[in-house]
Amino acid sequence: MSDDLYKKLKRLAAVETDQPLSKMTTLRIGGIAKYVVYPDSGIALDAVISLLKKENVPWKIIGKGSDLLCSDDPYDGVIIRLDRHFRSYYFDGCQVIAEAGASIIALSVDCAKNGLSGLEFASGIPGTVGGAVFMNAGAYRASMADILDEVFVYRDGKLEWISTEECRFSYRSSIFQEHRDWIIVAAKMTLEPKNSREIFDLMDDRRQRRMKSQPLDQPSCGSVFRNPDNINAWQLIDGIGYRGKRIGGAVVSDKHCNFILNTGDATACDYLRLATEIQEKVREKYGIELQLEMERFNWPQK
């Protein structure tokens, strides 16, 4: 990629060069990204995307990188991050309008302070509002789709609000996964008034449950596999005897075996080999096809 592109990007937004994806993901794995840009307005975002399309340069939006398994290869494209400048939110009665780069944990805490209930499920999800909408993130039988009214989207050179029907939410899925060139810029949610103390009590209770059951002190990207119908993925992994199983620096957590941890020096290949072995053993023993929950990014096309 040319110096010329760097100069053109620099006119539109803050740009960093040669940044490790391992520093942009909660798993702490990933190769070097050629450019990382931080647009500071809708106009800058539009200009950056238009430039990259014109120059035919690959790009990828990353939130907190808490749902990404990046390869160790260099990424010869542009990472776009909204968590520096698109992270405001404001309250209007029971509605909250939040920009995509806002932390969903910070937002859930502020909703609780404002006596608004509905985002308690998100208080342990370490992503951005954009990533949570993209994934229809959820926990405790609740998900983003339950509280969203509209999503502000940049697509085909235009910014527009789209309805939740158009977002086609289902379990950890949304239309955004089919349209990788649409960018979630903000989200409008309606919550319910409730006593702040009660909301904080529920959040505390869940935080303690998470801390007891999940290995939150080591790098991971949360659950490795989606839960198949009627059974938890961790039960299947336990059933094949993979609790504590290690390949290189990647290890199945003893505490929660649907988590694979990076114990310090795991490569993307260690992680993927371990996940693939689990899929094979579970298929052999139970005839069930486990699906990865996180997204693989920057791997060679099959």
User: Residue numbers of the site for ligand FAD (CB under 6 A)?
Assistant: 26, 60-68, 82, 100, 125-128, 130-132, 134-135, 137-139, 176, 183-184, 216, 220-222, 295
- Extract the tokens encoding 146: 């339950």
CB-based contact 295:127 (threshold 8 Å):
no
Instruction: Give dist(CA 182, CA 256) in Å, integer.
Output: 34
Least spacing, CB of residue 11 vs ligand FAD, in Å: 23
Closest CA to 40 of 105, 122, 99, 97: 99
CB of 80 to ligand FAD, least distance (A): 9
Catalytic annotation present for 66: no
Smaller CB separation from ligand FAD, 30 or 236: 30
Assess whether 223 carries a catalytic annotation. Answer: yes
Catalytic residue, chosen from 108, 123, 143, 223, is 223
CB of 137 to ligand FAD, least distance (A): 3
Q: How many residues does the chain have?
A: 302
DSSP β-bridge partners for residue 123: none
**Cβ nearer to ligand FAD, comparing 106 with 216:** 216
Residue among 283, 223, 293 at smallest CA distance from 257: 223
């020096």: which residue's tokens? 265
| Given the residues 99, 120, 150, 293, the one annotated as active site | 293
Mark whether 143 is an active-site residue. Answer: no
Of 139, 294, 290, 296, which is closest to residue 214 (Cα–Cα)? 139
Of 85 and 283, the one with the shorter C-beta distance to ligand FAD is 85
From the candidates 81, 103, 172, 253, give the one annotated as an active-site residue. Answer: 172
Based on CB atoms, which residue is closest to ligand FAD, 4 or 217?
Answer: 217
CB of 297: closest distance to ligand FAD in angstroms?
7
Q: CB of 27: closest distance to ligand FAD in angstroms?
A: 7
Q: What single letter denotes the amino acid at residue 127? A: G
Q: Which two tokens stand for residue 40?
A: 């500071």
Residues 6+ apart with CB under 8 A from 126: 26, 64, 66, 103, 105, 222
Whichever of 30 and 191 has its CB closer to ligand FAD, that residue is 30
In DSSP notation, 251-274 reads EE-SS-TT-EEE-SS--HHHHHHH
Which residue numbers are catalytic?
Answer: 172, 223, 293
